[in-house]
Structure 1
């Protein structure tokens, strides 16, 4: 079967979507059927700077995904589809989408792609349960500080013991009158 030719006015839209697929850390495909325009605006606000949310025709989005080398997303291009292009922290965007979907049952997370690999809605939910990058870095810094404190105490222990032994010997000599 021959491929349909895209009208000239749609070529730029496909090119833009292809570029977004390539430049994103992850892309999440959702079904937005039943969401109002104010709800979509609320979702865009919830995503903040971590992602952009765009409603797209399936044929154009599918062509763009193929142009970016993402053929494994084909199964998700059915029904009304909107794309969340994540350029910031994937965990933050996943949390925002999960939380919004809990409040608005009309938003259905279909799946997506991260690091060139297709991910399911369940995998995206697991990503949403992770701590953010900042929290993980803080935990790592705290663990490293604790380890360094233990190492410093361990290295200082022999010198400290020697100083206490010397002080005790001096006190003992002074007590004996020497």
Structure 2
């Protein structure tokens, strides 16, 4: 399969469904932009505060991306409104000190079936949102090209809207 087909198939996890796992809501609080993220111009551009919420500009590939800190480690995420949960690549999970459990859950998306490892992120910081004890999943190594911010992140907002090339989280 060609590189572009692999990327397309892998990113089509928008319809991801987590089977056999109950997810709890993280305890989120709003605080100032985390200093480690705020220092990076790219992070400010990707996820910026606007009146009443956060804005994310569409990337060149037409997807929305945001940098976030997971357990103090910066990770680049694709915002996936169709994903049930946050899903980390195996590499991103390892960098954040996660991924020593069993792949006991499965996801089904347009890219096929994917084995997942349930984990809890001690802390997730994205813009002014800081959440602790966040349920997430780790994808088996090599099966996901980018980590996904799904509904366990997006549920922290009252609305998610796309206005032109900008996603607005309120």
Smaller-chain TM-score bracket: under 0.3
Quick check: which one's strand share is greater? 2
Q: Which has the larger radius of gyration?
A: 1
- Structure with greater helix share of residues: 1
| Higher relative contact order structure (alpha carbons within 8 Å, sequence separation ≥ 6) | 2
TM, length-normalised to structure 2: 0.23
User: TM-score, normalization: structure 1?
Assistant: 0.23
